[in-house]
Amino acid sequence: MEKYVHDIVIVGAGLAGLRAAVAAAEFGEKLDIAVISKLHPIRSHSVCAQGGTAAVMREKDSFDLHAWDTVKGADFLADQDVVEFFVRQAPKEIVKMEHWGCPWSRTPDGKIDQRPFGGHTYPRACFAADMTGFHEMHALYGKAITYDNVRFYDEWFATSLIVEDNSAVGLTAIELKTGEIHVFQAKSVIMATGGHERIYEFTTFSHTTTGDGMAMAYRAGAPLMDMEFVQFHPTGLVPSGVLITEGARGEGGYLINVNGERFLKRYAPEKMELAPRDVISRAEQTEILEGRAFTSPYGPYIALDLRHLGEEKINERLPLIRDVAIKLGGVDPVKEPIPIRPAAHYSMGGIKANIKTETPIRGLYAAGECSCLSVHGANRLGTNSTAECLVFGAVAGEEAAKHATSTSFHEFSQEKVLAEEKRVFDGILGSEGSERVPQLRDEMRRLMNTKVWIFRKGDDLESALKEVRELEKRFKNIKVEDKGRAFNTGFTAALQLDFMLDLAEVTIMCALARTESRGAHSRLDYPKRDDEKWLVHTLAYYTAEGPRLEYVPVTITKWQPTARKY
């Protein structure tokens, strides 16, 4: 076991982690920065972002309008001071990305083009065709590797965060190539590990988004906030779940039921296909439950019709979508509608952090999807996530740099490191039980898909909680067949399932406790929003007996909650 020492360790090399690395490197060339990623950075899920990045770029638009759209979209659960800061910073990030080489799509007169997106009252999504994340990631990675003081540890898997006296002092990570575990010492640690959507069966997210950083922070004592709020995206391609960007509706696509009806006129008559995602997903799910969906061997589906846009526009604005629909859906959107249904798409919850990305653990920062600041409250608007990653990735990099400059290294007990080594190698890799990881993982995902989906009920959630705890018990009796150390994917799958089971349990507990419907959390037994009791954030703390919940107020600056109609 080696010990690596860096002033700042960033876990995650998606948009948030890379942006943090650039900000920290620019803060001071004497700072020594490490970026640890279980994937090559360019394989992070951020590369899949399609539709765009929200920012106010025109005089007709305004910061107040972007903030209001975000707060209303969030069903008033967002912290408004954070939202106000976020909307002001976003345009600066767009310009920086431009300077670093992101090829934004253009208007005929050469301005950065913007397209409409759900819940935004102005077309403010800057985009690079329908491969926005791909281009942003290449621009940022290209920038990050120019700094001599940033060292990348690609294909290193972080397993635990080390905390002493409520300070983050380092972490343990497995080098996947050798399978050896090593320890990192740091003055500041930034978690930028992305979402946990893979706790669900039908999702738009990569197989690698397993919430590791959330689980590591939670186990080390940091609270997770608002984990009951999971976003379901209206257009997951059937059967794979691969995303069909909301940009397809932004460009004018229609949603149609089996009767050929644009059913959204009954749910969101004003905004129609451009209502927020929670509203449209509930509408689709209702059409499915009431028998107005198409049927297929892969289950019911709704049709996304782009035919009226014409081949030229589809090729210019949505080339990836056409390609994906042909290759993975078996339909050419120029000629046929695309089969879709709602898919788990975003985690509004995450590691609790404040406007400076500081968590309650000193020296631990969180940015991007693994964090909850809270910009998105109970429901995120499309294109606000990549913008959040850039804005708060930069903040995290700077704040972590300031902290690292004004503090010294903290010693930590070797016992913690040895205990972690024992947990992963003896407890997980060495376990000789009879349960198989893929089996348990499938059961967890099916459970989340059936009982913790778009519409939720108390009795379903209670039985889901029992079942997930049963799975946690069975996990103790697993067997990883391959006992090798180098690139052992069965072993990493087990480590990831261990994290996901914790997060599934937290998600269910928080959903069960919140007896109201707000944003993406829709309770059939409590169909109304209840501001008297529930205009609060949920905090979940780790205990050996399961999560302990607390509640803290929402920060309201300008906008009092009102009825949310579209």
Q: Would you tell me which residues interact with ligand FAD (CB under 6 A)?
A: 11-17, 36-39, 41, 44-46, 48-53, 132-133, 157-158, 192-195, 204-205, 209, 212-213, 243, 346, 368-370, 383-386, 389
| Least Å from the CB of residue 563 to ligand FAD | 27
Catalytic residue, from 196, 233, 277, 345: name it.
Answer: 233
Contact 67, 82 (CB under 8 A): no
* Among the listed residues 45, 51, 206, 41, the one whose alpha carbon sits nearest the alpha carbon of residue 138: 41
Buried b (16+ CB within 10 A) or exposed e, 377-414: bbbbbbbbbbbbbbbbbbbbbbbbbebbeeeeebebee
| Least Å from the CB of residue 213 to ligand FAD | 6
| Catalytic site includes residue 403 | no
Tell me the C-alpha distance between 25 and 11, whole Å.
15
| Least Å from the CB of residue 350 to ligand FAD | 9
| Least Å from the CB of residue 292 to ligand FAD | 27
Tell me the C-alpha distance between 465 and 448, whole Å.
10
Nearest residue to ligand FAD on Cβ basis:
14
Question: Which sign, positive or negative, has the C-alpha torsion 467, 241, 331, 314?
Answer: positive
Q: Which CB sits closer to ligand FAD, 235 or 517?
A: 235
Q: Which CB sits closer to ligand FAD, 237 or 454?
A: 237
Buried b (16+ CB within 10 A) or exposed e, 129-138: bbbbbbbbbb
Q: Could you tell me if residue 253 is left (phi over 0), alpha (psi between -120 and 50 degrees) or otherwise beta?
A: beta
| Least Å from the CB of residue 318 to ligand FAD | 12
Q: Which CB sits closer to ligand FAD, 257 or 384?
A: 384
Q: Which CB sits closer to ligand FAD, 244 or 512?
A: 244
* Among the listed residues 31, 30, 39, 32, the one whose alpha carbon sits nearest the alpha carbon of residue 12: 39
DSSP state of 182: E
| Least Å from the CB of residue 391 to ligand FAD | 11
Q: Which CB sits closer to ligand FAD, 32 or 212?
A: 212
Neighbouring C-beta atoms of residue 336, cutoff 10 Å:
15
**Token digits of residue 257:** 């039921």
Exposed/middle/buried for residue 373 (C-beta within 10 Å: 0-12, 13-18, 19+): buried
Residue 507: CB partners within 8 Å, gap ≥ 6? 199, 227, 228, 230, 349, 448, 452
Q: Which CB sits closer to ligand FAD, 23 or 464?
A: 23
Scan for tokens 């890379």, then name that residue: 18
| Least Å from the CB of residue 449 to ligand FAD | 17
Catalytic residue, from 43, 66, 120, 249: name it.
Answer: 249
| Catalytic site includes residue 207 | no
Q: Which CB sits closer to ligand FAD, 139 or 243?
A: 243
Supply the residues annotated as catalytic: 233, 249
